[in-house]
Amino acid sequence: MNIFFEIWHWLWALFGCSLNLLLIYVAVFKTPKAIRPYATLIINFAITDFLECFLDWFTQLRLIPTPGDISLTYIANGPCQYINPFSCKLGISLLLHCLPHAVWSLLLSFGYRYYILHHSALSRMTLFKILLLIYIPSLFQGATYWTTLATKEQILPLANKWFPDYHIELGTGVITGIVDTTNWVAAYGISHICLPIFPVYTAIFIVRRKIIKHLEENTQMMSSDTRAAHAQLLKALTFQALVPAFLGVAVICYILSQTGLVVSPILEYAIFSSFILMPTLSPFTYLCFVRPYRQFFMRVIRRSMFLPTRPIESSTKAARFDSGGQVSHFTNTGTAIC
């Protein structure tokens, strides 16, 4: 089982790192001037997802919650074990702090897309300041959570008490964990990871529905190019709204284990094994639905497969439509997803 999940983490994490590095490159160098403000959000996603993939590979965690107790155990089976235990603790803390930031960033992305339908585009600096603001809770978590992670000597007796059949001490990974999850630093970190996902996910679908409703109400006043761009936008919104489901699965696995409803090593491995799919698949939202990015991505794929490069597809004209004197600023972000 350990070998299977080790291969799983290696494959998905390295694939995700490659995709997110590619997305960072195209967002920095291939973004049209009209959508550069929105590219600020894309770069934020790509950097966050790259760190998640890299740190997942670096730690390759198995989380063992203790039902009916206030402790939990982490086993880091990744390359960090060959450096020192502190590197694993720091890697765990940084990995966990990326998860809620990715969720809040996704909500910001949907909120900005709805905002842009009614107002002018925000400047890159304004978006950067908003990103810094929503990053503060995650930054605090990342800076403090590692201090709650105990040594192997403190955690191993607790783990063996509740799971004597696991023989955890025979493993090769670094054993750490939290002795008291009611400690306010640990409680804050765990709550910040688990609690926002479901209300934020609900809010994302509400905002998505509002965007769809707005587009449907104005369809008759759009040109064919604009309608095509909106259709692509809806596909992108649908795909992006489904990506956080993998984090939801990870949280559900943790809750089932922590409450004791299901106690299984497979479930303990699945907590982080399911999460890694989120930052790995997220780049496809932009590499497949942002026209300049898609063109570059397809050229990279064809060249890597030694296939002849096709001519660059023609660009869609910037879309604007007017309704009773009210102009939608879809141009600023709509052309990004078309």
Over residues 240-269, the pLDDT tens digits come to 778 878 888 888 898 888 888 888 889 999
The pLDDT mean for the chain works out to 84
Assign 295 a pLDDT band (cuts: 50, 70, 90): confident
pLDDT score, position 309? 59
Q: Which tokens go with 175?
A: 């054993």
pLDDT score, position 31? 86
3-state secondary structure of 243: coil
* Of 183 and 329, the one with more pLDDT: 183
pLDDT score, position 87? 95
pTM of the entire structure?
Answer: 0.86
pLDDT per residue as tens digits for the range 315-337: 444 333 333 333 344 444 454 44
Are the C-beta atoms of 152 and 85 separated by less than 8 Å?
yes
Question: Mean of the pLDDT values across residues 137-152?
Answer: 94
Q: Hey, what amino acid is at 131?
A: L
Q: How close are the terminal C-alpha atoms of the chain, in Å?
A: 43
Question: Mean of the pLDDT values across residues 78-88?
Answer: 94
CA distances from 245 to 21, 167, 198, 330 (A): 23, 33, 10, 28
Between the ranges 16-30, 161-175, 214-228, 277-291, where is the mean pLDDT highest?
16-30
CA distances from 290 to 31, 89, 284, 323, 338 (A): 9, 37, 10, 26, 6
* Of 198 and 22, the one with more pLDDT: 22
pLDDT per residue as tens digits for the range 88-98: 999 999 999 99
User: Does 278 score more than 60 pLDDT?
Assistant: yes
User: Does 300 score more than 70 pLDDT?
Assistant: yes
Q: Which tokens go with 216?
A: 């449907």
* Of 327 and 224, the one with more pLDDT: 224
Question: Mean of the pLDDT values across residues 256-285?
Answer: 89
Q: CA 295 to CA 30: how far, in whole Å? A: 10
Are the C-beta atoms of 62 and 83 separated by less than 8 Å?
no
CA torsion angle 293 295 298 303 (round to 10): -110
Q: CA 152 to CA 85: how far, in whole Å? A: 9
User: Does 130 score more than 90 pLDDT?
Assistant: yes
The H or E element containing residue 72 is strand 72-76
CA torsion angle 281 285 290 295 (round to 10): 30
User: Does 165 score more than 90 pLDDT?
Assistant: no
Q: CA 162 to CA 199: how far, in whole Å? A: 33
Q: What is the CA radius of gyration of the chain?
A: 22
The torsion angles phi and psi of 80, rounded to 5 degrees, stand at: -60, -25
* Residue percentage of the chain with pLDDT more than 70: 86
- Tell me whether residue 113 is exposed, middle or buried, using C-beta atoms within 10 angstroms of its C-beta: 0 to 12, 13 to 18, 19 or more: buried
Q: Which tokens go with 63?
A: 């989380």
CATH number belonging to domain 2-334: 1.20.1070.10
